[in-house]
Amino acid sequence: MKTAITEMFGIDYPIVQGGMHYVGFAEMAAAVSNAGGLGFITGLTQGTPEKLANEIARCRDMTDKPFGVNITFLPTFAKVDYPGIVHTVIEGGVTVVETAGNNPKEIMPYLKDAGIKVIHKCTSVRHALKAQEIGCDVVSVDGFECGGHPGEDDVPNMILLPRAAAELDIPFIASGGMANGRSLVAALALGAQGINMGTRFVATRDAPVHDNVKNGIVAATELDTRIILRPFRNTERVLTNAAVERVVQKEKELGDSITFDDIKPEVAGVYPKVMVEGDMDAGAWSCGMVVGLIDDIPTCEELITRTIAEARDIIANRLAPLA
Ligand SMILES: Cc1cc2nc3c(=O)[nH]c(=O)nc-3n(C[C@H](O)[C@H](O)[C@H](O)COP(=O)(O)O)c2cc1C
């Protein structure tokens, strides 16, 4: 299946795995890329440029297909060595970077000089236009239903994607709520050139996370995510659990007077506990409404192959006869 995305990145299918904290290790990125999609290592999870260099090398041992590195610019608790990360990505011969959070204006010259393609993930048309203006090659348009940080505008993909299609000159991929062949066909119909999936890839056999997380995603429904951190203008969609319900309650009770310290126990240092130890009540972790569409734990190969087969079937047998 050829689109502007497959052509630009030299991949078989227009399916991308977005960066995911404590999920996007070499095993995850390589499995997606080996299955014909585009996998991403999550740069910040590695902690230091040295460890990231090692992770890039490990991924290269696992696949000879293209893969990328996600660089997230978000408020974090630890100070991040961004120049070191960018240097490592360039030295490591990575050909594509996914940026998220703030726009990547400051690192663009270094990435472009190195011939690296940049996909910027953003949650509004104005941010997508800004990304286009500063030279990003692709935008990943993340609707309100997405796992992680949907921004502060709350526009779902049914509106956001056609708005992006109307305004952008560069290609874009649809992110948030994508799970299967129906999602892919819908995204293409709404103007995207491919899809980005997060939560769906966590519930795969290849994802290097605890089985409790995968089983939790399969068990959850579309009613089980919550929006938190809005008072901090750092809104995040997470899977509900006891800790998340405490955060929701504190945000309600404390209103404008809430401080980060009030919720620190529920949001700081959570990912290793959930993803590595499988402690599902440890705190808040990103998860999309798409959990409602996930009811199995396939390999990435099975997931991508069946997504493409389903999409082809819908296009040929349901849509083409309507034309
Ligand atoms: C567990 C998890 C961790 C995530 N961590 C990051 C991250 O560190 N950086 C980032 O840019 N996006 C992160 N995301 C967002 C994904 O890359 C992707 O944009 C999002 O999951 C798409 O929505 P979906 O979950 O509905 O597919 C994360 C998502 C999940 C589910």
Q: What is the pLDDT of residues 147-162, one digit of tens each?
A: 999 999 999 999 999 9
* C-alpha count within 13 angstroms, C-beta hemisphere, residue 272: 5
9-38 pLDDT, tens per residue? 999 999 999 999 999 999 999 999 999 999
Domain ranges of the chain: 4-208+296-322, 211-289
**How many whole angstroms separate alpha carbon 179 and alpha carbon 185?**
11
Residue whose structure tokens are 């068990």 = 219
Residue 75: per-residue pLDDT: 73
Residue 147 CA, closest ligand 1 atom number: 25
- Please give the helix or strand (H or E) that residue 306 lies within, else none: helix 300-313
Pocket test for ligand 1, best of 28, 71, 202, 286 (most atoms within 8 A of CB): 286
Nearest CA to 220 out of 196, 198, 238 is that of 238
Task: Give the Cα separation of 313 and 207 in Å (integer).
Answer: 27
Query: What is the per-residue pLDDT for 79?
Result: 85
Residue 102 vs residue 229, higher pLDDT: 229
The protein residue whose alpha carbon is closest to atom 30 in ligand 1 is 286
* Residue pair 275/42 in contact by the 8 Å Cβ criterion: no
- State which ligand 1 atom lies nearest to the alpha carbon of 175: 22
pLDDT at 78 over 80: no
Q: Reply yes or no on whether the pLDDT at 40 is more than 70.
A: yes
Asked whether 178 and 146 are in contact (CB, 8 A), the reply is no
CB 17 within 8 A of CB 42: no
Each residue of 174-211: pLDDT tens digit? 999 999 999 999 999 999 999 999 999 999 999 999 99
| Long-range contacts at 314-322 (CB < 8 A, ≥ 24 apart) | 314/181, 314/182, 314/185, 315/185, 319/185
Cβ(34)–Cβ(65) under 8 Å?
Answer: yes
Ligand 1 centroid distance, CA of 166 (Å):
25
What are 244-284's pLDDT values in tens digits? Answer: 999 999 999 999 999 999 999 999 999 999 999 999 999 99
* Three-point CA angle 188, 131, 151, nearest 5°: 75
> 0.95 exceeded by the pTM?
yes
CB 99 less than 6 A from any atom of ligand 1: no
Residue of minimum CA distance from atom 5 in ligand 1: 20
Confidence of residue 77 (pLDDT cuts 50, 70, 90): low
Question: At 122, is the secondary structure helix, strand, or coil?
Answer: strand
Q: What is the pLDDT of residue 55?
A: 98
Q: What mean pLDDT is predicted for residues 51-76?
A: 95
Question: Which of 74, 247, 233, 76 is closest to 152 using CA atoms?
Answer: 233
For residue 84, give the H/E element and its range: helix 82-91
Give dist(CA 247, CA 235) in Å, integer.
12
Q: What b/e string do you get for 253-274 counting C-beta neighbours within 10 Å, with b at 16 or more?
A: eeeeebeeeebeebbeebbebb
CATH topology of domain 4-208+296-322: TIM Barrel (3.20.20)
Beta strands at 39-42 and 117-122: parallel, antiparallel or unpaired:
unpaired
**If pLDDT is split at 50, 70 and 90, which confidence band does 76 have?**
low
* Residue 199 CA to ligand 1 centre (angstroms): 7
- Mean pLDDT, the chain, rounded, equals 97
Residue nearest to atom 3 of ligand 1 (CA): 20
- pLDDT tens track for 279-305: 999 999 999 999 999 999 999 999 999
Contact call for residues 9 and 116 (beta carbons, < 8 A):
no
* Angstrom distance (rounded) from CA 200 to CA 203: 6
At residue 74, the pLDDT reads 77
Q: How far is the CA of 320 from the centre of ligand 1 (A)?
A: 33
